[in-house]
Amino acid sequence: MPMGKAINAGLRKALADDPKVLLMGEDIGPLGGVFRVTEGLHAEFGGDRVIDSPLAESGIVGTAIGLAMRGYRPVLEIQFDGFVFPAFDQITTQLGRQNLRHDGRMPMPVVIRIPYGGHIGSIEHHQESPEAYFTHTPGIRVVSPSSPHDAYWMIQEAIASNDPVIFFEPKSRYWPKGPVDLDHAGIALHSSRVMRRGTDVTVVGHGAMVATLLQAADIAEQEGRSLEVVDLRSLSPIDYGPLVDSVQRTGRLVVAQEAVGFTSLGSEVAATIAERCFYSLEAPVLRVSSFDTPFPPAALEADYLPSPDRVLEAVDRALAY
């Protein structure tokens, strides 16, 4: 099943299981969303459960806060990564703080789905990776699946959470198929996971970058190098356990991300691993990121986004110490 369909199935299950779950966003109704992730849900659950909103991102998040106060569990869609910023104020100053401001008596079970990242050749504001803005915000949880199986389960777990969850969907992964176990999630929402065992260098990433890291590991294997690949899955909080274990075994870490590198999630991971694994490290923790520029015209995206080769270049540097 492709990830887009897996999220659709997860949303359908959540809507069917709990009458308080509702979806809201731009064009998510009869159209089924621009990526068709909500396809068929409007017909199945009606316009009061799958709501085509006015074209106003702050309004979508702000009214969802009121709906959550009323006992609903809104699942919102922001059409594209670069369009979340009109809602930034409601997310950071309101959504993330309601429970705290109410002394724990106003949980905010709101999920904000954001298709993000590059590799689809789109235009300005349609290929960004803004996750660090949200991981920097206390009160908000942030996750990103890398596989259809995880997407199916993580969307349901995010909806079940009483805390607000930003659910970053790597849009380049909407279409590739993968297995989905409809009976068992495997691991909890805020867990990281070792995707491939290896002994020489640990490489870690999230979302679409996991596919890039797995490709890099394949290539490295042909060159006689063994990479251990870790999928963060949860960006806030971060589950460091498997990563620390891995780095203590390999002694080397490369952190890869599509986002701008400066003050990024990768910076946080690098700093934390440097603190926790100082005596295990054989090399500095290295970061592979996109450049510290706005996302370029799509014709240049292959030069902008971290490729398997750029990951392997960092692996070489790590091994050279």
Partner 1 sequence: MVQILTPDGVIAPSAEAEPYAELVEGLDDSTLETFYRDMVRSRRLDIMGANLQRQGQLALWVPSHGQEAAQVGSARAARTQDHIFPSYREHVVGMIRGLDPVRIMALLRGATLGGWDPAETGNFHLYTLVLASQTLHATGYAMGLRFDGLVGTGDPETDTAVLVYYGDGSTSQGDASEALVFGSSFQTPQVYFIQNNQWAISVPVQRQSRVPLAQRGPGFGMPGIRIDGNDVLASYAVTRTAMEQARAGEGPSLIEALTYRMGAHTTADDPTKYRPEGELESWIARDPISRYRTWLEGRGASEAFFDQADADADDYAADVRRRTLELQAPSRPAIFEHVYSEPHPLMAQQAEWLERYEAGFEGGAA
Task: Name the residues that contact partner 1, by CB under 8 A.
Answer: 22, 48, 53-54, 56, 58-59, 61-72, 86, 89-90, 93-94, 97, 99-108, 138-139, 141, 161-163, 237, 239
Under DSSP, the state recorded for 2 is B
Nearest to 174 by CA among 10, 1, 4: 4
Q: Which is nearer to partner 1, 267 or 290 (CB)?
A: 267
Residue with smaller CB distance to partner 1, 106 or 219: 106
| Least Å from the CB of residue 216 to partner 1 | 29
State in angstroms the smallest separation of the CB of 266 from partner 1.
18
Please, which residue, 20 or 36, has the CB nearer to partner 1?
Answer: 20
Letter for the amino acid at 35? Answer: F
Cross-strand partners of 77:
25, 113
- Of the candidates 208, 213, 149, the one whose C-alpha atom is nearest the C-alpha of residue 177 is 149
Q: Indicate the DSSP class of residue 53.
A: P
Q: Which helix (H) or strand (E) holds 9?
A: helix 3-17
Query: 149 an active-site residue?
Result: no
CB of 99 vs partner 1, minimal distance in Å: 5
- Catalytic one among 42, 119, 126, 190? 126
Q: Provide the pairing of β-strand 165-170 with 141-143.
A: parallel
Beta strand spans in 124-214 (E): 141-143, 165-170, 193-196, 201-205
Residue 163 CB, shortest distance to partner 1, in Å, is 5
C-beta closer to partner 1: residue 67 or 208 = 67
Q: Minimum distance from CB of 76 to partner 1 (Å)?
A: 11
Q: Nearer Cβ to partner 1, position 104 or 224?
A: 104
Strands (E), the chain: 21-25, 50-52, 73-77, 111-116, 141-143, 165-170, 193-196, 201-205, 227-231, 234-236, 253-260, 286-290
Catalytic residues, which ones? 126
